[in-house]
Amino acid sequence: MLNYQRYKRVPVMNFPERTWPEKEIQKAPIWCSVDLRDGNQALIDPMVVEEKLEYFNLLLKLGFKEIEIGFPSASQLEYDFLRTLVEKKLIPDDVKVQVLCQCRQHLVDKTFEAIQGIKNVVFHIYNSTSTLQRDVVFHQDKEHIKQIAIEGTKMVKEGAKNFDGNIWLEYSPESFTGTEVEYALEVCEAVKDIWQPTEERPIIFNLPATVEMTTPNVYADQIEWMSTHFTEREKVILSIHPHNDRGCGVAATELAMLAGADRVEGTLFGNGERTGNVDILNVAYNMFSQGINPELNIENVNEIIDVFERCNKMSVPPRHPYAGKLVFTAFSGSHQDAISKGMQALHERQSKIWEVPYLPIDPSDVGREYEPLVRINSQSGKGGVAFVMEQYYGFKLPKEMHKELADKIQSMSEVQGEISPEQIMETFRRMYIDAKEPLHFRKAKIEDISDSGSEYDTKVFLTYTDRGVEKVVEGFGNGPIDAVQHGLCAESGFNIKLTMYHEHALTLGSDSQAASYIELVDAATGVSAYGVGISSNINRSSFRAIFSALNRLYYSKEQNQ
């Protein structure tokens, strides 16, 4: 039996004054990428300098203005990388480089050595404040733990006197979610008293969910409580750093933003220790889908994926929100039908607002226009097959034909699995367009006889072959299709009625092709068949559709359909 009794519930704080549930996200936070520190340290094969440079340039291209590099005092590789950025002048003036450092004098000194020459720096110090770590790791009381933060702040403040650039202090009470909020506030206020921030140069208090311990609403309560209890709130940037241990990192981030967070630290696609950090792209695309400017250049998700996977040697899962290869793909028949109808409605209404069932955003807005929205397997329906035929090949199948083609495709998919668009088109061609035997349309001559006094206005001389033997039929009717039908019935013995006809252009321009769809019914038996014809001439495509339907109606065994 699952031994759930070993675990105890994390206390839920009593905070009836909360206001975040009534709020909405209105704007993007300050974004800070920690890919080159949190993400990199979690890699099986950490990035080398060249990969770090490529990744850094990607983050700049995406529009990040705050980028955490790592521990230059603790790793020679990270020290060398930071110096490479400085010496090659690769850091734009409007970008803040963030460096992490433990509250120890020799590490602080080494970090200041590493950042010399950088215009804007966030100096990030931290120490764990949680009840569990105070007990089992440090064996120290609250006052001693607070003193570590105070002494670290004094070290940075002293070092900043000889630093030529602009410096911001960031302090993190690590394991904030396991810390009493009153005590976390006490430590932060003590740090602020030493640092003496201003409105022009505020202090960053980063409140990390170092381990995600409970539901996102509790984290939001903790964040709002801190936000409303900081003194001189105008001199504080409230930052969050959510992890994803419970799979709720994105939700925790969004609720924390409602609760007063000004800044979000995270990584691309959520890479990081254990289950990772919050996925910044996920949060940004969520904002984008609500009509909010995420203030990141995330139009080309494929390019982001390419650099991420190459530098991190990790793959983006196929179901990853927005970025996965399958997230804009529907296999379900009902989903496919709804997407198809939604796309059609969007086109017909010429709406500037994106509203398509099952697709919260237009895939083309994030660079995914060349990937299939609909993929066909045994779970797919008639709407999905019709959608593929229109989107890939331009055939707007009449609704009457949807089921017949879909049934054929489904029987194939039950044997082999997923069916490609090429296979669907090949099956469609074999079933309808290539149904040219034993009756093969050759040519037709159409005459206008509207002034002849006849009850009909069109005369057609139709030439076709029947198992290779040429035949000529003369038909009269109100229009070319009607004339061909009457001629075949009168001279060839067919007893057919035309019950459905549709046509449309397949392509645009002077050399465009037309597609015609016809249903013929045997008047004696009631059996029907569909036919399809294509040609640059609309009459010729219609005649080919008639012969396609005739062959399928009377000679289906010979067609081996």
Q: What is the pLDDT of residues 128-153, one digit of tens each?
A: 999 889 989 888 899 999 999 999 99
Q: What is the pLDDT of residue 509?
A: 66
Which DSSP string do the residues of 62-103 spell out, in sequence order? HT-SEEEEE-TTT-HHHHHHHHHHHHTT-S-TT-EEEEEEES
Report domain extents, the chain: 27-312, 333-411, 439-559
Q: What is the mean pLDDT of the chain?
A: 92
Tell me: the pLDDT tens digits for 197-251? 999 999 999 999 999 999 999 999 999 999 999 999 999 999 999 999 999 999 9
What is the C-alpha separation between 262 and 233, in angstroms, rounded? Answer: 11
pLDDT at 512 over 90: no
CATH class, range 439-559: alpha beta
| Cα–Cα distances in angstroms (integers) from residue 34 to residues 119, 258, 261, 270, in the given order | 19, 22, 17, 10
Q: What is the pLDDT of residue 561?
A: 45
Average pLDDT, integer, range 440-469: 91
What is the C-alpha separation between 482 and 494, in angstroms, rounded? Answer: 14
Structure tokens at 556: 């289906």
Helix (H) or strand (E) holding 492, with range, is helix 480-492
Tell me: the pLDDT tens digits for 281-336? 999 999 999 999 999 999 999 999 999 999 999 999 999 999 998 888 877 777 87
Asked, as a colleague might, if the bond just before 438 is cis with ω within 30 of 0, I would say yes
Which of 496, 485, 436, 494 is closest to 456 using CA atoms?
485
Q: What is the pLDDT of residue 98?
A: 98
Tell me: the pLDDT tens digits for 163-173? 999 999 999 99
Tell me: the pLDDT tens digits for 31-88? 999 999 988 888 889 999 999 999 999 999 999 999 999 899 988 889 999 999 999 9
Which of 245, 240, 246 is closest to 224 using CA atoms?
240
What is the C-alpha separation between 361 and 354, in angstroms, rounded? Answer: 7
Which of 49, 100, 50 is closest to 74 using CA atoms?
100
What is the C-alpha separation between 498 and 495, in angstroms, rounded? Answer: 10
Sign of CA dihedral 222, 228, 231, 232: positive
Task: Identify the band that residue 373 occupies on the pLDDT scale cut at 50, 70 and 90.
Answer: low
Q: What is the pLDDT of residue 370?
A: 42
Average pLDDT, integer, range 406-429: 91
CATH class, range 27-312: alpha beta
- Estimate the share of the chain in helix, then strand, then coil, as percent rounded to the nearest 5: 45, 20, 35
Structure tokens at 225: 């409580």
Q: What is the pLDDT of residue 194?
A: 98
Question: For residues 224-251, b (16+ Cβ closer than 10 Å) or e, as one string?
Answer: bbbbeebeeeebbbbbbbbbbbbebbbb
End-to-end CA distance of the chain: 56
